[in-house]
Amino acid sequence: MIVYNNGVYCPLMQAAASVQDRGYQFGDGVYEVIHYTDHHGVDEDWHLDRLDYSLAQLQIPWPMSPTALKQCIRQVRLKNNLSTVNIYISITRGVPVTRDFAFPKRFCPPVLTIIPYRHKPVSQGLRTKGMTVITAPDLRWGRCDIKAIALLAPSMAKQSATEAGADDVWMVDDQGFITEGSSCNAFMVTQAGEILTRPPSHAILKGITRTRLIALARAAGLRVTERPFAVSELNDAAEAFITRTTGFVIPVTRVDQNPVGLGQAGSVTHNLLSLYETFVQEQKHGHITDTTRFAV
């Protein structure tokens, strides 16, 4: 596997970072994951808009222009001969002269890494059977809107789900409302067919797939309401699902061992997945001219 490592294309095992890198010592950096299908980046520009937001929030300068970054991503895909792939991009503040909790007073160049990961399609069995999730207190920091590389809290949450025999965890705030999954946004569908999901705030990451799906659903005449929903509301839900870059739309059929609705993937979830997959194909073939920018 060939990666881009701070100015050099090299085999993965030869890529390295300084032990003084603030990403290593402080988790001081941001990342993005973009899905490419048949060489097309799904909402690539939106992902780079969100990357720009995360960098700005942490006052980290771009290591290169977005246009140049696109070219580096393209080279990584070509060098690995991967047309369908998930591209991981990380940018850290870099290697300062001295270690300090405050941002370095002297400029140090940010460090850029681009790694390709082979895409593992969601199995048809999971699309039909759905995911099982558990709930757990949300113990993350208060700026989840920044896509930061410091992922220990969601990693621990995902581990708790694994140990419980579940597929993922939905984190819950101290008012009893679901925030999001370990690496996904959470949705539920009421018996009346209303789609609910938490509104953007510092408490969640504003997902690219989430945002696109909401727009597609509303354009199709479906009712989407952005409001927090409580764990207790899932007892009366008709359906639930998640959205994420690497899986699009995946049904959730059990929460804390309790079935959601009929305990199987529902029609609304299937319809939303179809809408999103159609969008991906139309965007790939240039049938959609969307000039909107992604606003966090």
Domain boundaries, the chain: 2-118, 124-284
Catalytic residue positions?
147
Residues 56-85: pLDDT tens digits? 999 999 999 999 999 999 999 999 999 999
Alpha-helix residue ranges (DSSP H) falling in 145-243 = 152-163, 208-219
Other C-beta atoms within 10 Å of 64: how many? 15
Contact criterion met (CB below 8 Å) for 263 and 253: yes
Q: Which candidate, 30, 18, 15, places its Cα nearest to that of 99?
A: 18
pLDDT > 70: percent of the chain: 100
133's tokens: 């999730």
What pLDDT does 140 receive?
96
Terminal CA-CA length for the chain: 33
Predicted confidence (pLDDT) at residue 291 exceeds the cutoff of 90: no
List C-alpha distances in Å: 198 to 3, 52, 96, 195, 225: 36, 23, 38, 10, 8
Contact criterion met (CB below 8 Å) for 135 and 169: yes
Spatial CB neighbours of 276, under 8 Å, sequence gap ≥ 6? 209, 212, 213, 216, 248, 249
Q: What is the CATH number of domain 2-118?
A: 3.30.470.10
246's tokens: 């690497």
Residues 164-187: pLDDT tens digits? 999 999 999 999 999 999 999 999
- The structure's pTM equals 0.96
Residues 3-42: pLDDT tens digits? 999 999 999 999 999 999 999 999 999 999 999 999 999 9
CATH topology of domain 124-284: D-amino Acid Aminotransferase; Chain A, domain 2 (3.20.10)
